[in-house]
């Protein structure tokens, strides 16, 4: 099978996992390329859109028979941006993932199957992201293996959308306890989008690590 993997940000956190998926697909006998620009999508059988932040137009989707996306919500609920982070912030620890066919509209295509990941409630961002990425790899491999037997299912039910997160969404309230805001701490990206708060007219940043994270802080 001729397969293209696309991640549209060459600095994306997902790239090491995309390379894992590429290697596994190659080991299974498929012709695979991993690209970081939609213009490089080849004509073929399947294109996996992995952690893409921008829509891919129909002229590029038409190059492959299937264009699949794994979205971290129970579509049609939770369309849009950063669904995994928003749901953790809402207090959810079971996250449904939907593997669906990309179309011109945002997260609107028919889906093939759903799966889920389960957190215990104490995992931090890097650990949760790793669990999420491994499930995405697993679901893409399942689709490729069972592609001839999977039937598209039209999305039904009420839809909802998550907005794009901004720096303002990383602000915490210094008057609330850490326990009250722990889910906010859990989704903090220490490197790119650390938590922050205002106090006495100044802006302060916070980073969080677990004892098991390998941080030198003890």
Q: Between these two residues, 218 and 134, which has the higher pLDDT value?
A: 134
Domain count for the chain, please give it: 2
User: How large is the angle between the packed helices 125-146 and 15-27, nearest 10 degrees?
Assistant: 30
Measured distance CA(74)–CA(155) in Å, rounded: 10
Task: Tell whether the torsion through CA atoms of 175, 179, 180 and 185 is positive or negative.
Answer: positive
Residue 181 in any domain: the answer is: yes
**Residues paired with residue 203 on neighbouring β-strands, in sequence order:** 198
Q: How far is CA 205 from CA 79, 121, 190, 197, in A?
A: 30, 23, 9, 7
Put simply, whether the predicted model's pTM sits higher than 0.75 gets the answer yes
Mean pLDDT of 75-80: 97
As a whole-number percent, the residues of the chain with pLDDT over 90 amount to 95
Spatial CA neighbour of 140 closest among 9, 14, 11 = 14
Look at residue 155 in the predicted model and tell me its pLDDT.
97
Spatial CA neighbour of 4 closest among 81, 79, 56, 76 = 56
Q: Flag whether pLDDT at 11 surpasses 70.
A: yes
Residue 187 structural domain: 167-213
**Shared domain check, 53 and 89:** yes
Q: How confident is the model at residue 88 (pLDDT cuts 50, 70, 90)?
A: very high
Residue with token string 């669906």? 100
**Shared domain check, 55 and 148:** yes
Query: Under a CB-based contact definition with an 8 Å cutoff, are residues 98 and 114 in contact?
Result: yes
**Shared domain check, 109 and 48:** yes
Measured distance CA(86)–CA(92) in Å, rounded: 9
Q: Flag whether pLDDT at 214 surpasses 70.
A: no
The H or E element spanning position 131 is helix 125-146
Domain of 99: which CATH number?
Answer: 3.40.50.170
For residue 45, which phi and psi values (nearest 5 degrees)? Answer: -95, -50
Residue 116 in any domain: the answer is: yes
Q: Flag whether pLDDT at 5 surpasses 90.
A: yes
Look at residue 211 in the predicted model and tell me its pLDDT.
85
Last residue of a domain, one of 162, 181, 196: 162
Q: How far is CA 175 from CA 11, 180, 186, in A?
A: 36, 10, 18
**Shared domain check, 201 and 95:** no
**Shared domain check, 199 and 97:** no
**Shared domain check, 177 and 96:** no
Look at residue 212 in the predicted model and tell me its pLDDT.
77
Residue 218 in any domain: the answer is: no
Look at residue 128 in the predicted model and tell me its pLDDT.
97
Residue 16 in any domain: the answer is: yes
Tens digit of pLDDT for each residue in 33-63?
999 999 999 999 999 999 998 999 999 999 9
Q: Flag whether pLDDT at 217 surpasses 60.
A: no
**Shared domain check, 37 and 128:** yes
Query: Under a CB-based contact definition with an 8 Å cutoff, are residues 101 and 150 in contact?
Result: no
Q: How confident is the model at residue 194 (pLDDT cuts 50, 70, 90)?
A: very high
Spatial CA neighbour of 28 closest among 138, 140, 145 = 145
Look at residue 215 in the predicted model and tell me its pLDDT.
57
**Shared domain check, 147 and 209:** no
Residue 191 in any domain: the answer is: yes
**Shared domain check, 63 and 22:** yes
Peptide bond into 76 cis (omega under 30): yes
**Shared domain check, 171 and 138:** no
Tens digit of pLDDT for each residue in 115-171?
999 999 999 999 999 999 999 999 999 999 999 999 999 999 999 999 999 999 999
């Amino acid at each position: 099978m001729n397969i293209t993997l696309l991640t549209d940000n060459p600095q994306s956190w997902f790239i090491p996992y995309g390379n894992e998926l590429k290697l596994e697909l190659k080991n299974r006998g498929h012709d695979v390329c991993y690209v970081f620009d939609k213009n490089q999508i080849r004509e073929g059988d399947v294109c996996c859109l992995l952690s893409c932040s921008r829509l891919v137009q129909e002229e590029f989707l038409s190059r492959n028979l299937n264009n699949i996306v794994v979205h971290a919500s129970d579509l049609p609920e939770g369309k849009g941006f950063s669904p995994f982070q928003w749901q953790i912030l809402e207090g959810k620890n079971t996250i449904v993932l939907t593997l669906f066919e990309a179309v011109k509209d945002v997260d609107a295509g028919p889906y093939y199957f759903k799966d889920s990941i389960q957190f215990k409630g104490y995992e931090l961002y890097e650990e949760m992201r790793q669990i999420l990425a491994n499930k995405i790899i697993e679901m893409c491999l399942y689709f490729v293996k069972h592609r001839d037997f999977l039937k598209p299912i039209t999305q039904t039910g009420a839809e909802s959308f998550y907005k794009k997160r901004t720096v303002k969404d990383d602000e915490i309230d210094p008057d609330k306890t850490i326990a009250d805001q722990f889910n906010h701490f859990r989704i903090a990206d220490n490197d790119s989008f650390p938590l922050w708060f205002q106090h006495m007219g100044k802006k302060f940043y916070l980073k969080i690590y677990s004892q098991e994270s390998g941080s030198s802080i003890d």
